Structure 1
């Protein structure tokens, strides 16, 4: 303690003489730059922030989490790197028709459940400068995510042999740009790697959805997106975009953890970022000056999708609670079907029911269209939220159903297993009805890649139901 006291005394003396450390001086100069845009996070008081707290008279630094610093310069690519990128077509923006269709598909079918981009800002830049005004990495990543939904006619017209070929090409272009560190804007990097998570790959790929969501979360935490900006000098519009991106990471983290049977990475106890609000997702500057008519119409559509993501976040919170409560690792000598676990499951089901009951009317499958201009994609997203609810219920009760070799319909089975089985059956039936309805509406192909999680989750219930029917 005496050495620490001595060091603190020396630091105070240097400060009083106007001689703070070179680190502090350098940092203070950087945050005063007029064009400073990216943020730097000092961490908690036990880390670098403590040094600033001691070395500066302004104690307000100890309560700030974010500081603006100058944007880093883009490094010069070597001729070999540039040739490799050009050979892969990394700077290709596709034909006007295909590019416009991919962007339209992105904002109708990807953006509503992953609103990582401000559509108003995007189209202002796009209308003013075309595709050249958009980061090549972000653009190729957007193309990758949207290519899941390209029609066969558009595919044939543009000369691509298959959707998989198109997806692989967009993925390879984006990954090549990522590998050479072409993009220096960390926020743009986070947006891009979140979209790279739409590349499912195969079991041998090292960089799959799990990898990319991990990169996105790490970069987000390095920027402090998981922390409340508080009294930091961050503009309100930037704070809204940060919250969007962080909660997109949160949603994808929970969803991928469920699909791949792994632990999620984001723990809410480590975060104090504010909840997302409708104002964070809606462009309030209506009408939209400076935008083309088609661009303004797309921004208005994106405003209509805003309530969807708010409900998806609520569902993701509950899904995380389910995974933490029912699927946590247990020792061999620890009984799974203990009363406390069952009671927790019952409490979670009540929360799920309360969420479903309080669902925004604009997100309910049984609600009529709220506007004559309501896009057809709204129907799809309503059903996706409905399916997400039932997948979470099945996930909650499935461990109680499949215990040993005894079927839940067997009289010898546990009472809790039978009750859990009934809940799983009801949810599996409801989810199947939703898939059937989307098929009738020719919307099933527009479901996000997460739909595979829905199929995998409900499949054991359906198989067990068929086995039970065949035995009777």
Structure 2
């Protein structure tokens, strides 16, 4: 193994080592591909999941790097896997992969094999790797999808004590800050996957006492790339202003995820679904527990959640506020900031949709005056959210950076598409109907751009096609 990889953490049977070698789990990409994957991880994964000390990681590639700076093989393979979603396809094709999704599957299998063989003994490292494995979005036959890996990560986090304020432990400040970032990365994955997959959150607000993140918890300093050769596009390594802005966005997203958790816990209930049903024709078994809107939601509860979202939006720091970016902005600042800021606001509007969509559904209470008022407000919020999500997606399309969206972007686009479909079907206003039709077309275009990366985009396109045929809509 290269000098920047830690030695095997435990003695393994020769047969197991040979098996891992034959399956490619012990192989490292060539230097060109490795450097490009690291660059993509730094630009497009680390800002939204800052769960390693980047300075230590990069130092490991320098001459005479310390043992602390060396990286676990499990974690390294997980980092490589995460980078495959964003690397230029030509690098993967040169390495022998026909498609991006083929490459993602191969790199994911390397990581999973190491995990399955209990290769790593350090629990924090395993948690970091599992959180990166939640970026696997192909649907496996054995049911071990992103929700599965997140569940294991959360279980390990509680047994490792990462849910406790790190100041109670006798450790240096750098490790305290790392543990806080890992914890909040886990909370964020929990809330965003729950939001997108309509599953109940596993982390409850009363189960931890880790303080909210602050700027001091992030690495805000020029980082040495050592022997890694990065292009000037990788500004995050040296641009401290960019580092601070991305840190502020991450903190704001963590705060937003607390609002999302409150919406899901107060406006939705967990119900068992598909009990006793056979797997579908593709061999996939549906989730046993999903979230469904509560049958009766009081207006006060909706208004309380709405106030939390509004308060979050009004208190956003200036670098986190959304402004349409120009090609010159892209050239000057790079794609990382543009994407992270866009995703932050897309998640906000998706949360608003999740809050208000149940309120427009017909019910016995719909005839009451105050419920009609609530429905009108909710319809207004739904339309605003779908229009803003569509606008942001088209801003990214015009800058040709849509492909850098995470898989979360797929589920968010679907929330906008659903509202556009409803508007087309039920509105009598010709202008609004045409606006919804155009918005639907724009969102489908963005989904098409994500199909190269994620299977959920395929599923979403298939769902939209069925919906369009059912309501006889042509776009």
TM-score, structure 1 as length reference:
0.76
Among 335, 338, 349, the residue aligned to 2:306: 349
Task: Map 1:340-379 to 2 at 5 A.
Answer: 341-366=298-323, 374-379=333-338
- In structure 2, the CA distance between the partners of 1:466 and 1:300, relative to structure 1 (3 Å rule), is same
Secondary structure of the 1:328 match is: strand
Kept in 2, the 8 Å contact 1:120–1:283? The answer is: no
Return the offset for 1:140: 1.2
C-alpha RMSD over aligned residues:
3.2
Q: Which residue of the partner structure matches residue 106 of structure 2?
A: 169
Kept in 1, the 8 Å contact 2:35–2:229? The answer is: no
Return the offset for 1:351: 1.8
Q: Deviations over 1:350-390 (max 9, x none)?
A: 22122112212112222889999633321111111111111
* CA–CA distance in structure 1, aligned partners of residues 391 and 330 of structure 2: 25
Return the offset for 1:142: 1.1
* CA–CA distance in structure 2, aligned partners of residues 393 and 444 of structure 1: 22
Secondary structure of the 1:210 match is: helix
Kept in 2, the 8 Å contact 1:259–1:453? The answer is: yes
Among 359, 367, 377, the residue aligned to 1:419: 377
Q: Deviations over 1:31-64 (max 9, x none)?
A: xxxxxxxxxxxxxxxxxxxxxxxxxxxxxxxxxx
Among 98, 118, 122, the residue aligned to 2:57: 122
Give yes or no for the alignment of 1:445 onto 2:403.
yes
Kept in 1, the 8 Å contact 2:306–2:352? The answer is: yes
Q: Deviations over 1:209-234 (max 9, x none)?
A: 11111111111111111111344311
Return the offset for 1:157: 2.6
Kept in 2, the 8 Å contact 1:337–1:400? The answer is: no
* CA–CA distance in structure 1, aligned partners of residues 225 and 133 of structure 2: 31
Give yes or no for the alignment of 1:315 onto 2:256.
yes
Task: Map 1:30-429 to 2 at 5 A.
Answer: 74-128=9-63, 133-202=70-139, 204-284=141-221, 291=226, 298-301=236-239, 303-304=243-244, 305-329=246-270, 336-338=295-297, 341-366=298-323, 374-403=333-362, 414-429=372-387
TM-score, structure 2 as length reference:
0.76
* CA–CA distance in structure 2, aligned partners of residues 183 and 330 of structure 1: 36
* CA–CA distance in structure 1, aligned partners of residues 216 and 229 of structure 2: 23
Q: Which residue of the partner structure matches residue 465 of structure 2?
A: none
* CA–CA distance in structure 1, aligned partners of residues 413 and 224 of structure 2: 44
Kept in 2, the 8 Å contact 1:144–1:171? The answer is: yes
Q: Deviations over 1:62-103 (max 9, x none)?
A: xxxxxxxxxxx9332112211111011112211111111111
* CA–CA distance in structure 2, aligned partners of residues 263 and 231 of structure 1: 30
Kept in 2, the 8 Å contact 1:307–1:360? The answer is: yes
* CA–CA distance in structure 1, aligned partners of residues 171 and 71 of structure 2: 23
* CA–CA distance in structure 2, aligned partners of residues 441 and 372 of structure 1: 10
Return the offset for 1:202: 1.3
Secondary structure of the 1:262 match is: coil
- In structure 2, the CA distance between the partners of 1:203 and 1:455, relative to structure 1 (3 Å rule), is farther
Aligned residues: 392
Give yes or no for the alignment of 1:461 onto 2:419.
yes
| Greater Cα radius of gyration, structure 1 or 2 | 1
